[in-house]
Amino acid sequence: MLEDVSKILVPVDFSENSQKILMEGQLLAEKLQAKLAVVFVVQSIDDYSGFFVPHMPLAQFEEELLDGAKKKMKSFLAENLKGATCESAVLAGDVAEEILAYAKRGGAGMIVMGTPGYKGLEKVLFGSVAEQVVKNAPCPVLTINPYK
């Protein structure tokens, strides 16, 4: 099954933990001679519209978030991949749904992602992206606990 993996998808959030996950994904891609794809998902602003009202129009705010995330993705990859090539994307929407859709669209043979740091009430309120991806992924998912 692993010999059929031609692309590994690594979702990141630009945290220190996602640096560790990206390194593991890159090592695995090298060992399997697979392509590496890295995605970041800007959580849809619509999900938070009941909590606050930004001073600028919502569409402009989301566009600025996407632009900032694209710049951050470029610097994040330059700092962490040290010249290695990969495909990358910055998406907007529900984080788990966008990761799953990208995996299906892009033909990912495996997803490598971190386990959540949420516990107790936080997990109840925010859920687990990793859990949703594991349950619904079109391919194997390797979860890594970055705290160990």
Q: How long a stretch of residues is the chain?
A: 148
The arrangement of strands across the sheet holding 35-43 comes to: 87-93, 35-43, 7-11, 110-114, 141-144
| DSSP string for 40-86 | EEEEPGGGGTTT---SS-HHHHHHHHHHHHHHHHHHHHHHHHTT---
The enclosing domain of 67 has a CATH number of: 3.40.50.620
Question: Structure tokens of 32?
Answer: 């399997």
Report the number of distinct structural domains present in the chain. 1
Question: Structure tokens of 74?
Answer: 């470029």
The pTM assigned to this predicted structure is 0.85
Quote the percentage of the chain above a pLDDT of 70. 80
pLDDT in tens, 46-63: 655 555 555 556 667 778
Q: What is the mean pLDDT of residues 132-144?
A: 94
Domain span at residue 93?
2-144
